[in-house]
Homo-oligomer: A and B are copies of this chain.
Amino acid sequence: MKIKYELLNEDGQARYGNLQTNHGTFETPMFMPVGTLATVKTLAPEELKDINSAIILANTYHLWLRPGADVVAKAGGLHQFMNYDGPILTDSGGFQVFSLVKNKKKDISEEGVHFKSHIDGQSLFLTPELSIEIQNKLDSDIAMSFDECIEYPASYEYTKASTERTLRWAARGKKAHKNKNQSLFGIVQGGAYKDLRRFSAEETVKMNFDGYSIGGTSVGETKDVMYKMIDDAIKYLPKDKPRYLMGVGEPADILEGVERGIDMFDCVLPTRLARHGNAFTNEGKINLKNAQFKEDFEAIDPKCDCYACQHYSKAYIRHLLVAKETLGARLLSIHNIRFLIKLMENIRASIKNGEFQKFKEEFLQRYESKKQ
């Protein structure tokens, strides 16, 4: 069965809805924690369920290299392999090809991309068909089309040529897609050019994907440019399909995305922050390695309902981080993901109540108060 999106409420452009998948239904807008290598770093699946996390993202490129798509397929697919029975979205590998190998030689042709493995330098060739074939084997609930993630800034000529090629790649991927239980999203490119975003959105929509992603963001552009990229694309996307903004996890960006009509987000931010000792709080981020927390026996956020805040003090988590004990990053990962999941819960409630703008302003005023 393919996914089914239902739009339930609108508040301005902001959308409240739900998305039905073969592994459960969840409400949108939703944030997806990233399980790069078939594990959300440091966490077990039960810990994600405990914090009401509904869908995770796994990385096609990384799983292609390790353990390999065939190993996952023989295990019975990604859900079975990693003991996670909730919905999973896999990316296409496009972003990793362009970010992990950006300082090394890569060679983009009409056929696909030649590049070298970030692990051992081995020569690799990824095509739209292969990306889909790998994702078919991983058997995620939602697969992504293989695209070129264009660097910023890029010339109009390059962006136009690349955007047209990504459309051809999307068509090839759609043709190659054989997994009947897996939905497939198209990705809108077009860089920072308004007409190319419109062109890419309209042409992608013509192919009738199960959902649409806005790609080529978080590649070095300013916030204003990113928000404009969303504006320039999203108005051409159909209302009855989910819209996904890739690689976005900063609360302010999530709020700006929701305001523009985005339904799904993903980012490594909460787990990456955790590994560096940073915690989200309603008053902004704090770094628990800071000496000021050495004898702070309060929870990270006494109002937070996560396992870490219910049972551990900042002093203890700081001790674990300083001593390089992995339980520290684990507790912070739980807290940081819960923070974003809770943010999405509050966002959804505010949309239902027609109070999204009010919620956004109040949240950001508090969240950014310490900066001022």
User: Considering the chains assembled together, what is the distance between the CA atoms of A264 and B43 in angstroms?
Assistant: 32
Q: Chain B residues with Cβ under 8 A from A81's Cβ? A: 313, 315-316
**How many monomers of this chain does the complex have?**
2
Report whether A71 and B295 are in contact in the complex, using a CB–CB cutoff of 8 Å: yes
A329 to B316, CA, bound (A): 21
Cα A319 to Cα B78 with chains together (Å): 13
B37 near A75 (CB under 8 angstroms)?
Answer: no
Contact with B along A21-49 (1 / 0, CB 8 A): 00000000000000001110111100000
Alpha-carbon separation in the docked complex, A67 to B82 (Å): 35
CB atoms of B325 and A82 under 8 A apart: no
B42 contacts A319, C-beta separation under 8 Å: no
Contact: B316 with A38, CB < 8 Å? yes
Measured CB to CB, the nearest residue on chain B to A320 is B39
Residue in chain B with minimal CB distance to A310: B83
Is the CB of A312 closer than 8 A to any CB of chain B? yes
Taking the complex as formed, is A297 at the interface, i.e. its CB lies under 8 A from any CB of chain B? yes
Q: Are B39 and A325 in contact (CB under 8 A)?
A: yes
A330 to B44, CA, bound (A): 9
| Bound Cα distance A323, B316 (Å) | 28
Chain B residue numbers with a CB within 8 Å of A62 are 323
Of B66, B74, B307, B313, the contact of A323 (CB 8 Å cutoff): B66
Number of interface residues of A (CB under 8 A): 36
B74–A295 touching, CB < 8 Å: yes
Known contacts A66-B322, A67-B294, A294-B67; A75/B315 CB under 8 A: yes
A371 at the B interface (CB under 8 A): no
Tell me the minimal C-beta distance from A193 to chain B in angstroms: 38
Residues of chain A in range 316-333 having any CB-CB distance to chain B below 8 Å: 316, 318-320, 322-323, 325-327, 329-330
- Across the interface, name the chain B residue whose C-beta is closest to A316: B81
In chain A, positions 64-104 with a C-beta closer than 8 Å to chain B are 66-67, 71, 74-76, 81-83
Q: Is the CB of A319 within 8 A of B67?
A: yes
State how many angstroms separate the Cβ of A47 from the closest Cβ of chain B: 9
Report whether A71 and B319 are in contact in the complex, using a CB–CB cutoff of 8 Å. yes
Q: Does A311 contact B (CB under 8 A)?
A: yes
In the bound complex, do residue A325 and residue B83 qualify as a contact, i.e. CB atoms below 8 Å apart?
no
Say whether, besides A81-B316, A294-B67, A325 and B41 are in contact (CB < 8 Å): yes
Bound CA span A267–B329, Å: 25
A322 to B, closest residue via Cβ: B66
- Least CB distance from A70 to B in Å reads 9
A83 and B312 in contact (CB under 8 A), knowing A44-B327, A74-B295, A294-B67? yes
Query: Which of B41, B67, B297, B311 is in CB contact (< 8 Å) with A74?
Result: B297
When C-beta atoms are compared, the residue in chain B nearest to A312 turns out to be B83
A43 → B minimal CB distance (Å): 7
The 22 sampled A-B contact pairs (Cβ below 8 Å) are A37-B319, A37-B320, A37-B323, A38-B319, A41-B325, A42-B330, A66-B322, A67-B315, A71-B294, A71-B295, A71-B319, A74-B295, A74-B297, A75-B297, A75-B313, A75-B315, A75-B316, A76-B297, A81-B315, A82-B316, A83-B311, A326-B330
